Amino acid sequence: MLILGGLLLLFMVWLLANGVIQVARKPTELFFPMSGALDKTPAETWRRYAPIFHRHATATITPEFLAALAQIEGGGNPVARTPWRWRLTEDPFEVYRPASSAVGMYQITDGTYAQARRYCIHDHEVAEDGPWHAWRSCWFNWLYFRVVPSHAAEMTSAFLDVSVHRSLRRLGLANVAQPRKQDLAAVMHLCGVAAGEAFARNRFGFPPAPPCGGQDVRAYLERMRAMRDAFARMPG
């Protein structure tokens, strides 16, 4: 009985310490008590955030695309979290932790966040961080947060627009139709820029590849297209 009690005490101490460490690594986990209550239906997402999607859209990353991505990635929830997963590892603080660093309704990871916060949208065109006296540069990007809907939409729109057009230039692909550009943006968001370029090189098809982010890429794209078209039919 004493041994069992000691093991239980050790487990409780580990559980508390692990929780503190995971929150220190990913402070947005503190939103977990309210996270589920902020999920939205597509109609609610559009009604609440349509002005943001319109304000931060570009010629390629349209309001309907931004809305579809927000709905599929985070259910329109600005503080959407990733599930916690168990892992078999020697590090006691890696055994049970969030599945990834992704945060918010676009599920922006730490790596993407570090790159995307360098960009912003001015009059539906992408601008880049620069000196304070450069009128067309981005200002105060260091204050951008993934859990603020307008910040998340702006960073996502700008980063995907830049990534799509840079990759198409690098691959020598011109006159690519808008739907294919958006397919490429969706693949890049789910799988990363390198995987997106492989998708484009394969004539916007799917070479044999493992799922990205735990999802089948073809099914993800089909959902994105359907959701984008649904938002396009909504008023406003």
CATH number of the CATH domain containing 96: 1.10.530.10
Residues β-bridged to residue 85: 97
Instruction: Encode pLDDT of 170-180 as tens digits.
Output: 999 989 999 99
Instruction: Give the pairing type, strands 84-86 and 119-122.
Output: unpaired
Range of the domain at 208: 2-232
| φ, ψ at 152 (rounded to 5°) | -60, -45
What span, in angstroms and rounded, lies between the C-alpha atoms of 20 and 15?
9
- Average pLDDT in the chain: 87
Number of domains the chain is built from: 1
pLDDT at residue 35, as a whole number: 66
Burial category of 172 from C-beta neighbours within 10 Å (exposed 0-12, middle 13-18, buried 19 and up): exposed
pLDDT at residue 236, as a whole number: 74
> Which range (2-11, 134-143, 170-179, 212-221) has the least confidence?
2-11
Percent of the chain with pLDDT over 70: 87
| φ, ψ at 96 (rounded to 5°) | -135, 110
Residues β-bridged to residue 215: 212
* pLDDT band at residue 23 using 50, 70 and 90 as cut-offs: low
46's tokens: 């559009």
